[in-house]
Chains A and B, each alone.
Chain A
Amino acid sequence: MTDFPWLSVVTFLPLVGALFILFFSRGTAEQVARDARAVALWVSSITFLVSLGLWVNFDVRTSDFQFVEKFVWVPGLDLAYHVGIDGISLFFVLLSTLLTVLCILASWESIQERVKEYMVAFLILETLMVGMFAALDIVLFYVFFEAVLIPMYLIIGIWGGPRRNYAAFKFFLYTLAGSVLMLLAILAMMYQSGTSDMTRLLTFDFAPSLQTWLWLAFFASFAVKVPMWPVHTWLPDAHVEAPTAGSVILAGVLLKFGGYGFLRFSMPMFPLASLEFTPLMFTLSIIAVIYTSLVALAQEDMKKLIAYSSVAHMAFVTLGAFAANTQAVEGAIAHMLSHGFVSAALFLVVGVVYDRMHSREIATYGGLVHRMPKYALIFMIFMMASVGLPGTSGFVGEVLVLIGLFKANSWVGAFAATGLILGACYMLYLYRRVIFGQLTKDNLKSIGDLNMREIAVFAPLLLLVFWMGIYPETFLSAMHVSVENLLERYHSAIAAHGAATAIAAR
């Protein structure tokens, strides 16, 4: 099966589905909506199943890119359609394909207007996300990376809440501002190295002074995506206004672009600059952990609270990546995956009650456990996963990051670990206000528990949260070699430079 173009199929199948919906749906508005839902679900499910083939056929013993496909795109410029994955990107592809299915399922009833366009937007978004993680040509990467903004912008701007315009504009402005600098950096890299092939760029030694500028340009883009403090303020607004599924993709996949970018580009391509800027990364991330956790404590809107918690959690990823040792980097990847499950699930959790009550205000709720025991259980599990309870996926990522980080810098490790306490504070406080207590509000007295469709949406995430918490080896074993390769490259480049400067100084 090695000749089968796995990656291209996974990447473009959703696009084919989108085109199919766009051109072949006929009939009344109702029929169109029904067909669009069905096609989107089928296509995304098949895509997910095919993407599992990537995992099954993945060779964990090599750090080379696998499932590589390469076609020349612009011959004169050496641009190519060049895709492939390694142990770092594999799971992000799977995460994207899985979450898309769940998003479509979660939007089944809550989206009633422009269903066709909505489904098309999600399928195109899937293509772009997978393409982003699979791209091995830096220009191709840039195209996917930027193009993702468009469907996301539309999803927030069209199907969003009352302040959607403000949120969409803020989201677009922030992310685009970062990307412009990245484009300049990409052009400079191609000019310097004469290639856009990432496999070659990964081992190309840029001049130390240039690395600094390139690093900063990429940082501008990735920091917004993660998002790091202080460029995080677009996230709460975007989440609050986005429809549930939009939040799920945003938190589940789009935030990972930043973390993935740091690991794929900044660390191996600009190792000297990465080392130089490690204190900056640590400082900003630590501020993010403490600052956003405290802000989360003061929130009155459920989605905003979870959005702020996302900022705090993603700070663990940037900390782990730049701690640059095996545990921390593997932890960072594991934490991204876990955050992909857990934050996605938490937004779905909010979506469940939002669909019923059309309010995100915490004060609207209280005592839901009386009417919604299954909901309370599921919320409890994901809350515990979010606060990093051992046995859930949240713990594995968090503890690996912290154990590596503490080794790299104990102060930073200790400050980051305060997230253990603060995270518990805001999540338990949220849970208590929404779920526990007496059910006194009249409009809640007939609220219904989860239905089968909703349980089906949560079930895979529950399975993954425990699977990864109890037997994370399934996931970690696929990353070992690639992470080792990355760190080998990172540390040898630094060592080589150190030796070179030592000779020069002599």
Chain B
Amino acid sequence: MYAAAVFLPFIGFLISGAIIFLRIAKHAPQGGGHGHGHDHAHGAHAGHGGHDDHAAHGDPSLDRAAQLVTCGCMLLAAIAAIFAFTNVVVNGNTGAVEIFTWIDSGTLELSWALRGDTLSLAMVLMVTVVSSMIHVYSVGYMSHDSSVPRFMCYLSLFTFMMLMLVTANNLLQLFFGWEGVGVASYLLIGFWFDRPSANAAAMKAFIVNRVGDFGFALGIFATYMLFDSINFDTIFALAPQKADAMLHVFGKDYHALTVICLLLFVGAMGKSAQLGLHTWLPDAMEGPTPVSALIHAATMVTAGVFMVARCSPLFEFSDTALTVVTIVGASTAIFAATIGCVQNDIKRVIAYSTCSQLGYMFFALGVSAYSAGVFHLITHAFFKALLFLSAGSVIHAMSDEQDMRKMGGLYKLIPVTYLMFWIGSLALAGVWPFAGYYSKDMILEVAYAAHTGVGQYAYWMGLTAAFLTAFYSWRLIIMTFHGTSRADEHTLAHVHESPKVMLIPLCVLALGAIFVGFSTVDYFVGEHYEEFWGKALFMLPTHQALEHAHHVPLWVKLSPLVVGAAGIALAYFLYMFRPDLPGKIAGAFPAVYRFLLNKWYFDELYDAIFVKPAFRIGHALWKKGDGAVIDGLGPDGVSYVIREASKKAGVLQSGYLYHYAFAMLLGVAGLITWFLVAGK
């Protein structure tokens, strides 16, 4: 069952990949259509490039087949995941499913395997359920697109890679899934490859992630150096013994686990778009909306959170690393929330919101409340996917308009979407009894209950961000759905509620956004904690934040609700009742407004520090280094010297007798002198 849940999406990917090429063969311009028995080994990436311009409206029967196959596989995978989850978590049959050896070199022994513990299974269940809903939704959303099979193919590839990531039993397989989702997201962000902005965003996502992966890779190497293994079972078992071990890296001895955890966390920062490495996420909104929902809200970006939780037996022994995680998480939470308040692109608001929520998850991890972080990860997956897909529904209705300044007054026209937006936003803002309430409250409580300086920092940042979250969520709702419409008549005439195939997945996710919170809270962070998690997460007995969180003062428990309500109220006041005010405020503080609107100028900064110099240096090294210096002193220089020398030597051979006679005379004189001087 477990293997089925993981590999069914892969099968869907292979079949839809084959369909892409069937379609090309059918519409081959040269008529040389060959059945093209595509080898599975190549099929393994058959995702790419199935776009054919000639058949602009695609091939309905093949498109339908691709949709059926991928959605079918995903739904079956979700069912299989439910069974697998029951088997492992409820019946307690933990243990890994070995597939076959991967790499075996000296003491480095790695297998392809599926890890069977609560953390993996919870993630598998979430990923398959959310992903299958997004697959179904895509059938409707992408119905006007010319490359349906390619889109479905990429989605399935992504899901498979994500599943490989969360089921990994060693760090390198985790890295496989990690990079695999990176490629899939690269393909999906750049799905509309005619747009230069989409291509640039895709590249940026891949490269910024690679910067994180650089740290992750070094973390893996350091782990191997310390433990002589990178299999989870081995390193987790050995970690307590190595708690005080030193590692000689970078010319000095450092606390081994701190080095490892910090390096791994760099990877997590890249994938989860934390402060500094977040720049790719807003740009990634260039991809079709289901992609944003699947990758940039529900699954991939949470991989960093998952990874830190998975490595909790390592992080627990490094207070420094945990402190860094807390600070980065809390800072990201507030930073992204401030930007979210001024963005005008509906998807970018949600993207920054995701960034901010990931910050919450991280500071929960940082105070050792891993389960709270993962709990928020799961609830967030449902309500954020819901929000994105609802945004997609708005965009679909508005004929691909994403700018909220050109929306307004839509609530009567698309009531179901409007309702969905409310559910998603209530969950996001953490209003009782929606899912976000349980997880977000828990996170703020554990931060407070950590009783540390960074814990307090995280609590206050988180609380402020909660206020901003509520504010920008309702700013979005009001700007989009209320007031008078600012869209042109043509667009407005076309506004329609989305088809059922899009609305049903929305409803399923909405149910998740409502019920996942209170139905599971006792298992994730409550009284059934022990039996639910088993050995999947690890906390030192001295790290008591989770325990203390249940006994925080009442004002700590209530304040998230209060600031949430305040944020909502402020949004209503500013955008509903006094819509002239926001512009005046922005006008009063132009510098602040521009700073926020331009996302703290991170992109400009990186461009000036990294991108432009890299090209300049590259060019200089090529022309000056290779051309002038190496070739100049090397082959070209040598041949030049020889050529010039032989020219000079040629001049000597003038043909005039007196030249030769003179030279001879000089020679004779020289010889005699030498004999006279040296011969004595």
Binding site for B on A (CB under 8 A): 169-170, 173-174, 230-231, 233-234, 236, 291, 294-299, 325-327, 330-331, 367, 369-370, 373-378, 380-381, 384, 389-391, 395-396, 399-400, 402-403, 406-407, 410-411, 413-414, 417-418, 420-421, 424-425, 428-429, 432, 435-439, 448-449, 451-452, 459, 462-463, 466-467, 470-473, 476-477, 480
A370 and B183 within 8 A (CB): no
B49 and A435 within 8 A (CB): yes
**Given contacts A297-B618, A420-B217, A472-B103, is CB(A425)–CB(B630) below 8 Å?**
no
Other contacts beyond A173-B638, A421-B210: 6, CB < 8 A? A294-B621, A327-B105, A389-B180, A402-B217, A411-B251, A463-B39
B103 and A476 within 8 A (CB): yes
A436 to B203, CA, bound (A): 11
Chain B stretch 86-134: residues in CB contact (< 8 A) with chain A: 100-108, 112
A425 and B614 within 8 A (CB): yes
A377 to B17, CA, bound (A): 11
A462 and B218 within 8 A (CB): no
State which of B211, B224, B250, B626 has its C-beta within 8 Å of the C-beta of A295. Answer: B626
B626 and A233 within 8 A (CB): yes
B46 and A377 within 8 A (CB): yes
B155 interface residue (CB < 8 Å to A): no
Distance in Å: Cβ of B521 to nearest Cβ of chain A: 36
B21 interface residue (CB < 8 Å to A): yes
A438 and B45 within 8 A (CB): no
State which of B32, B172, B183, B199 has its C-beta within 8 Å of the C-beta of A437. Answer: B199
Please, which residue of chain B has its CB at the minimum distance from the CB of A381? Answer: B45
B207 and A295 within 8 A (CB): no
Distance in Å: Cβ of A236 to nearest Cβ of chain B: 8
A432 and B203 within 8 A (CB): yes
Chain B stretch 160-207: residues in CB contact (< 8 A) with chain A: 172, 175-176, 178-180, 183, 186, 190, 193-194, 196, 199-200, 203, 206-207
A366 to B33, CA, bound (A): 25
B615 interface residue (CB < 8 Å to A): yes
Please, which residue of chain B has its CB at the minimum distance from the CB of A299? Answer: B622
Chain A residues with CB under 8 Å of B221's CB are: 402-403, 406-407, 410, 413, 417
**Given contacts A373-B51, A399-B172, is CB(A420)–CB(B103) below 8 Å?**
no
A325 to B39, CA, bound (A): 37
A480 to B101, CA, bound (A): 15
Interface residues of A, dominant DSSP: helix
B101 and A473 within 8 A (CB): yes
Distance in Å: Cβ of A404 to nearest Cβ of chain B: 8
Chain B residues with CB under 8 Å of A438's CB are: 194
Chain A residues with CB under 8 Å of B42's CB are: 377-378, 381, 459, 462-463, 466
List 7 A-B pairs, Cβ < 8 Å.
Answer: A173-B635, A174-B635, A298-B622, A384-B183, A435-B49, A451-B32, A471-B102
A420 and B203 within 8 A (CB): no
Please, which residue of chain A has its CB at the minimum distance from the CB of B176? Answer: A390
Chain A residues with CB under 8 Å of B486's CB are: none
Residue from B180, B210, B639 whose CB has the most chain A CB atoms within 10 Å: B210
Chain B residues with CB under 8 Å of A299's CB are: 622
A448 to B32, CA, bound (A): 11
B631 interface residue (CB < 8 Å to A): yes
A220 to B537, CA, bound (A): 55
Please, which residue of chain B has its CB at the minimum distance from the CB of A174? Answer: B635
Distance in Å: Cβ of B199 to nearest Cβ of chain A: 5
* Pairs of residues from A and B, 10 with the lowest C-beta to C-beta distance, nearest first: A376-B49, A326-B106, A406-B221, A298-B618, A294-B618, A390-B176, A410-B249, A298-B619, A297-B618, A380-B48
Please, which residue of chain A has its CB at the minimum distance from the CB of B52? Answer: A373
Chain B residues with CB under 8 Å of A327's CB are: 105-106, 108
A384 to B187, CA, bound (A): 12
B237 interface residue (CB < 8 Å to A): no
B194 and A437 within 8 A (CB): yes
A351 to B398, CA, bound (A): 46
B207 and A436 within 8 A (CB): no
A471 to B112, CA, bound (A): 10
Residue from B108, B206, B639 whose CB has the most chain A CB atoms within 10 Å: B108
A400 and B635 within 8 A (CB): no
Distance in Å: Cβ of A341 to nearest Cβ of chain B: 13
A299 to B623, CA, bound (A): 10
A414 and B635 within 8 A (CB): no
Number of residues from B at the complex interface, CB < 8 A: 78
Please, which residue of chain A has its CB at the minimum distance from the CB of B182? Answer: A389
A425 and B626 within 8 A (CB): no
State which of A291, A369, A375 has its C-beta within 8 Å of the C-beta of B621. Answer: A291
B51 and A295 within 8 A (CB): no
B626 and A369 within 8 A (CB): no
A421 to B34, CA, bound (A): 39
B53 interface residue (CB < 8 Å to A): yes
Distance in Å: Cβ of A326 to nearest Cβ of chain B: 3
State which of A173, A234, A330, A410 has its C-beta within 8 Å of the C-beta of B250. Answer: A410
State which of A370, A373, A389, A462 has its C-beta within 8 Å of the C-beta of B41. Answer: A462
A477 to B210, CA, bound (A): 30
A471 and B614 within 8 A (CB): no
State which of A231, A294, A449 has its C-beta within 8 Å of the C-beta of B617. Answer: A294
State which of A291, A331, A424 has its C-beta within 8 Å of the C-beta of B207. Answer: A424
**Given contacts A294-B617, A297-B614, is CB(A428)–CB(B49) below 8 Å?**
no
Chain B residues with CB under 8 Å of A390's CB are: 172, 175-176, 178-180
State which of B45, B211, B220, B225 has its C-beta within 8 Å of the C-beta of A384. Answer: B45
A451 to B176, CA, bound (A): 32
Chain B residues with CB under 8 Å of A418's CB are: 214
Please, which residue of chain B has its CB at the minimum distance from the CB of A292? Answer: B621
Chain B residues with CB under 8 Å of A373's CB are: 20-21, 24, 49-52
**Given contacts A438-B194, A473-B101, is CB(A466)–CB(B44) below 8 Å?**
yes
A438 to B220, CA, bound (A): 40
Distance in Å: Cβ of A251 to nearest Cβ of chain B: 18
Please, which residue of chain A has its CB at the minimum distance from the CB of B17? Answer: A377
Chain B residues with CB under 8 Å of A367's CB are: 194
Chain B stretch 5-23: residues in CB contact (< 8 A) with chain A: 20-21
B218 and A233 within 8 A (CB): no
A402 to B619, CA, bound (A): 28
Distance in Å: Cβ of A389 to nearest Cβ of chain B: 6
Distance in Å: Cβ of B109 to nearest Cβ of chain A: 11
State which of B105, B179, B631 has its C-beta within 8 Å of the C-beta of A233. Answer: B631
B105 and A400 within 8 A (CB): yes
B48 and A295 within 8 A (CB): no
Chain A residues with CB under 8 Å of B107's CB are: 326
**Given contacts A298-B615, A327-B105, is CB(A414)–CB(B218) below 8 Å?**
yes
Chain A residues with CB under 8 Å of B210's CB are: 420-421, 424
Distance in Å: Cβ of B210 to nearest Cβ of chain A: 5
Chain B stretch 136-180: residues in CB contact (< 8 A) with chain A: 172, 175-176, 178-180
B579 interface residue (CB < 8 Å to A): no
B51 and A425 within 8 A (CB): no
A233 to B622, CA, bound (A): 10
State which of A400, A413, A436, A463 has its C-beta within 8 Å of the C-beta of B103. Answer: A400
B241 interface residue (CB < 8 Å to A): no
A165 to B639, CA, bound (A): 14
A417 and B206 within 8 A (CB): no
B621 and A380 within 8 A (CB): no
A437 to B248, CA, bound (A): 48
B102 and A472 within 8 A (CB): yes
Distance in Å: Cβ of B520 to nearest Cβ of chain A: 33
Chain A residues with CB under 8 Å of B626's CB are: 233, 236, 295
Chain A residues with CB under 8 Å of B34's CB are: 452
Chain A residues with CB under 8 Å of B24's CB are: 373-374, 449
A437 and B196 within 8 A (CB): yes
A466 to B24, CA, bound (A): 24
B214 and A420 within 8 A (CB): yes
B30 interface residue (CB < 8 Å to A): yes
A476 to B103, CA, bound (A): 8
Residue from B28, B206, B211, B621 whose CB has the most chain A CB atoms within 10 Å: B621
A463 to B42, CA, bound (A): 7
Distance in Å: Cβ of A482 to nearest Cβ of chain B: 13
